[in-house]
Amino acid sequence: MNVIYSSDHFWILAYPAQHSFELFDKYHLRTLYLQGPSARHFQNAMEEIPEAERNEENVDALLDSLCDDGAQPIVFH
């Protein structure tokens, strides 16, 4: 596992051996695991953000929209 992005609200964790990503929403305590086609879609969406616009605000907005579509709450025991 590699942390490839960290902001006040999100982490992006990469799992190279599984060709997957995990989006971790620190603010809402939810996580979204992306593998296969969804991981490729995510990677393409990140690459579509122009280099000059890859700032925390734009990346976090993308991550928030993806997490809104299916992230699972994190449960502490």
Mean pLDDT (whole number) for 41-59: 95
pTM of the model: 0.88
Distance CA 45, CA 43 (A): 5
Q: Are strands 10-15 and 20-25 parallel, antiparallel or unpaired?
A: antiparallel
pLDDT at 23: 97
Total number of domains constituting the chain: 1
Q: Are 28 and 10 in contact (CB under 8 A)?
A: no
Domain span holding position 35:
2-73
pLDDT at 69: 81
Q: Is the pLDDT of residue 22 over 80?
A: yes
